[in-house]
Chain A
Amino acid sequence: MKKTFKLENLDCANCAAIMESKIRKINGVNNASISFMTQKLIIEADDSRFDAIVKEAAAVCKRVEPDCFIRE
């Protein structure tokens, strides 16, 4: 499954790169990319664990940039 999310309050380009590489390392994620300019996160991951992965990804974003949150 592939889904696009909006990242609100994504202010730091370096953080976006860090989030991207961390989300890619989440178990079950086939690919993830963050576009700093469009503030979008695209996750491609296994269907079975998708919701859990999204939660984990949201936690990663929050940890890297505290103001940042994911919206569908």
Chain B
Amino acid sequence: MSIILNKKQKKSLCRIILASVIFIFAVLISGLSVIPAEYSAYARFILYLIPYLLVGGDVLLRATKNIIHGKVFDENFLMSIATIGAFALGEYPEGVAVMLFYQVGELFQSYAVNKSRRSIAELMDINPDHAYIERDGSVVTVSPDELSVDDVILIKPGDRVPVDGIVIRGSSELNTASLTGESLPRDVNPGDPVISGCINLSGVLHVRVTKIFSESTVTRILELVENASSRKAKTENFITTFSRYYTPVVVIAAAALAIIPPLLFAQPFSMWVERALTFLVVSCPCALVISIPLSFFGGIGGASASGILVKGGNYLEALAKTDTVVFDKTGTLTCGKFSVTELHPVKMSEDQLLEYAAHAEAYSSHPISISIKDAYGKPVRNEALTDVSEIAGHGVNATFNGHRLAVGNSKLMRSLGISIDDSVRPGTMIHVSLDGSYAGYLVISDTVKPDAKDAILRLKALGVKKTVMLTGDSSVAAASVAKELGIDQYHAELLPQDKVSVLEDIINQQNKNRKVAFVGDGINDAPVISRADVGIAMGSLGSDAAIEAADIVLMDDNPAKIALALQISRKTMGIVKQNIIFALDVKFLVLVLAAFGLANMWGAVFADVGVAVIAILNAMRTLNVKDK
């Protein structure tokens, strides 16, 4: 680890070292009693005043300025009063040492804050700094914000994609890790969209710009994460309010401590003033004020590095309290892509059934036809095909190799007077007849995402009590998916507005201290996403509607990321709680001890700066995200 200090920090370090040397010198001289006795008091004062002013001069200056501006009770003021008080009581070494210790702590604190600022900046270092564009036959370098839509740019291997676009020439692999957290490179070929912020790994790409820099994914993500800190969690607001009262209360307590016991019990003023000064040192709430926002920011930063965008600390806080997760089915738990899942031939082989179906659908571009042709996998022999006629809403009639083919739904079969297998399967059933007799059926359905089952299992392992699935699809299809994935409850055949009312019912039944999250694919689920306590969208790498409506956006459409998001939120909240409890406990303990004269100013400085540094270091743990 290399230590990088900025100018201000270097200056402060020099002053601390110089003051320490003089301070040690002062301690030695006064110990040796080389100074004649009659001057000794003055000499000691001056000997200690030099290092004191050297190390604490800026604190005194700032305190004076602040008082002129009418701002008391700040750190500078408190430290000044405490140390001047120590001098007034004749405890010079203590006054200097407290100021020294305070400055060392401040330096350490400023270093820790800068370091965490840097590590967050590194996580967020997805901003492309240049683009290559072809102009008049030569390649020129431009800044990404100079590009306009329909410009053709060149992306060389090792470069970041500067703006969103579509590949027109070349093929390559893209590393999307900084956007999605997914380490497996993605293949791109002509016609494929590319997202800004990804890194081009192998080949040169020619890309047509589809979005200008300020509207591209990378800019939107950065804005979102930076704005996230303005949506503060309740805990954060609590700390702000708390600190507003904490400092004045402690200062008033200190004043009371200095005045009341000596007056009531006729005890020496100096002893109680010393205790009161110790109070003042503990009265800054810095440990909390810095470390709590830092924890949230770290959690949000760590999450975005794994492809989870959280729009504010408040959502992280709500997610940590979630124990019911409601899913949309299509596009969220399933791929949203149809494929042939079952083949039920009658008096022929499965391959034959598929061949007939694929040929009948040869000219159709309906998603179901495409899925049948995909399943067939071989080129269709158009020359063997004649008399193709498509009947909308029913299916297709055709002649193939001299056989009369009919492929379509039950209505088509009924109209042809063919009796069919009337079992009900989850998905769309496509029947086939050959020369007027029934040849069997295919089932076409949406396939479950490979990670969906694991996602549900992980959520359950994390203590999510209830998982619910909402879908517009048929009950049969919903039941089969729910069973396969181990989902507790499902509601099928819902219209988009029904989804909102079902979700409202779930929220109403919910324990008020717990939250309900809804996960959807964004575009048609937007009203439900915004109604849920925590709305999570599958961002499909940049769908506007998704990013707009949701509180949390998963950059790759992997449902297992929900569990990871939950883990991150709980870890962050855990660290936040640790810091609050730790800081308050230490401060309270030192206050009590100081009131009874058991803690000196050293302990107080530890309770102030030491605690702040420890809390900051703890808060930085939120940046480390480990999957599973």
Interface residues of A (CB under 8 A from B): 9, 11-14, 17, 33, 35-40, 42, 63-64, 66-67
Leading 7 A-B pairs by shortest Cβ distance = A33-B230, A35-B229, A13-B290, A37-B297, A13-B289, A14-B289, A63-B69
The verdict on A64 contacting B71 (CB below 8 Å), with A36-B290, A37-B120 known, is: yes
Given contacts A35-B226, A38-B229, A66-B62, contact A14 B285 (CB under 8 A): yes
Are A12 and B75 touching (Cβ within 8 A)?
A: yes
**How far is it, in angstroms, between the C-alpha of A17 and the C-alpha of B238 when the chains are bound?**
13
Q: Which A residues are CB-close (under 8 A) to B294?
A: 36-37
Interchain nearest-CB distance for A7 vs B (Å): 12
Count of A-B contacts with CB under 8 A? 53
Q: Mark B263-301, 1 if CB is under 8 A from A, else 0.
A: 000000000000000000000111001100110010000
Asked if B116 lies at the interface with its beta carbon under 8 angstroms from chain A, I say: yes
Q: Contact at B113–A40, with CB atoms within 8 Å?
A: no
Determine the chain B residues whose CB is within 8 A of the CB of A38 once the complex forms: 117, 120, 226, 229
Residues of B within 8 A of A66 (CB): 62, 65
Residue of B nearest to A63 (CB): B69
Q: Which residues of B contact A64 (CB under 8 A)?
A: 71
Smallest Cβ-Cβ distance to B222: which chain A residue:
A38
**Nearest Cβ in chain A — how far from B318, in angstroms?**
20
Kindly state the separation between the CA atoms of A64 and B70 in the bound complex, as whole angstroms.
10
In chain B, positions 110-149 with a C-beta closer than 8 Å to chain A are 110, 113, 116-117, 120
With A37-B294, A67-B8 as known contacts, state yes or no: A42 contacts B71, CB within 8 Å.
Answer: no
Query: Can you list 22 A-B contacts (CB < 8 A)?
Result: A9-B8, A11-B113, A12-B75, A13-B293, A14-B74, A14-B75, A14-B243, A14-B286, A14-B290, A17-B240, A33-B229, A33-B230, A35-B226, A35-B230, A36-B294, A37-B117, A37-B120, A37-B297, A38-B117, A38-B120, A42-B227, A66-B62
Residues of A within 8 A of B74 (CB): 14
Interface residues of B in 64-86 (CB under 8 A from A): 65, 69, 71, 74-75
* Alpha-carbon distance A39/B286, docked complex (angstroms): 17
Instruction: Name the distance in Å between B45's Cβ and chain A's nearest Cβ.
Output: 29
Which residues of the partner chain B approach A40 to less than 8 Å between Cβ atoms? 226
Are A36 and B293 in contact, CB atoms less than 8 angstroms apart?
yes
Contact of B286 among A13, A33, A35 (CB under 8 A): A13
Q: Within the assembled complex, what's the spacing in Å between the Cα atoms of A11 and B69? A: 19
Complexed CA–CA distance, A35 and B69 (Å): 24
The residue of chain A having its C-beta at the shortest distance from the C-beta of B226 within the complex is A38
Q: Which residues on B sit within 8 Å (CB–CB) of A9?
A: 8
**Chain B residues positioned under 8 Å from A35 (CB to CB):** 226, 229-230, 297
Chain B: CB-nearest residue to A15 = B74
- In the complex formed, the residue of A with least CB distance to B6 is A9
Give A17 to B74 CA distance when docked, in angstroms. 13
- Which of B117, B230, B289 lies in contact with A39, CB distance below 8 A? B117
Complex interface: chain A residues within 8 A of B71 (CB): 63-64
Complex CA gap A66/B110 in Å reads 16
Q: Are A17 and B289 in contact (CB under 8 A)?
A: yes
A67–B6 alpha-carbon span in the complex (Å): 14
Once the chains bind, are A37 and B286 in contact (CB under 8 Å)? no
Distance in angstroms between the alpha carbons of A11 and B9 in the assembled complex: 11
With A11-B110, A38-B229, A66-B65 known, 8 other A-B pairs at CB within 8 A are: A13-B286, A13-B289, A13-B290, A14-B243, A35-B297, A37-B116, A42-B227, A67-B8
Q: Shortest distance in angstroms between B193's beta carbon and chain A's nearest beta carbon?
A: 28
Which residue of A has the minimal Cβ distance to B231?
Answer: A33
Separation in Å of the B57 CB from the closest CB of chain A?
A: 14
C-alpha spacing A12/B116, complex, angstroms: 14
CA distance A40 to B124 in the complex (A): 15
Q: Please indicate which of the listed interface residues B116, B120, B230, B286 has the most CB atoms of chain A within 10 Å of its own CB.
A: B230
Closest to B230 in A: A33
User: In the assembled complex, which residues on chain B have CB atoms less than 8 Å from the CB atom of A12?
Assistant: 75, 286
| Chain B residue nearest in CB terms to A31 | B230
Which chain A positions have C-beta within 8 A of B289?
Answer: 13-14, 17
| Distance to closest chain A CB from B246 (angstroms) | 11
Report chain B residues within 8 Å CB of A67.
8
Please measure, in the bound complex, the distance between the C-alpha atom of A38 and the C-alpha atom of B371, giving whole angstroms: 49
Q: Is the Cβ of A37 less than 8 Å from the Cβ of B293?
A: yes
Nearest CB on A from B481, distance (A): 42
Among A11, A38, A40, A66, which residue has the most Cβ atoms of chain B within 10 A?
Answer: A38
Q: B65 — which chain A residues lie within 8 A by C-beta?
A: 66
* Minimum distance in angstroms from B48 CB to a CB of chain A: 27
Q: How far is the CA of A39 from the CA of B113 in the complex (A)?
A: 11
Docked pose: A9 CA to B74 CA in angstroms: 18
The closest CB in chain B to the CB of A32 belongs to B230
> How far apart sit A37 and B240, CA to CA, in the bound complex (Å)?
16
Nearest B residue to A17, CB-CB: B240
Tell me the B199-254 residues at the A interface (CB within 8 Å).
226-227, 229-230, 240, 243
Q: Which A residue sits closest to B229, measured CB to CB?
A: A35
Interchain nearest-CB distance for B221 vs A (Å): 14
Q: Considering residues B75, B229, B297, which has the most beta carbons from chain A within 10 angstroms of its beta carbon?
A: B229
Task: Name the residue of chain B whose CB is nearest to the CB of A33.
Answer: B230
**A36, A39, A42 — which one has the most chain B CB atoms within 10 A of its CB?**
A36
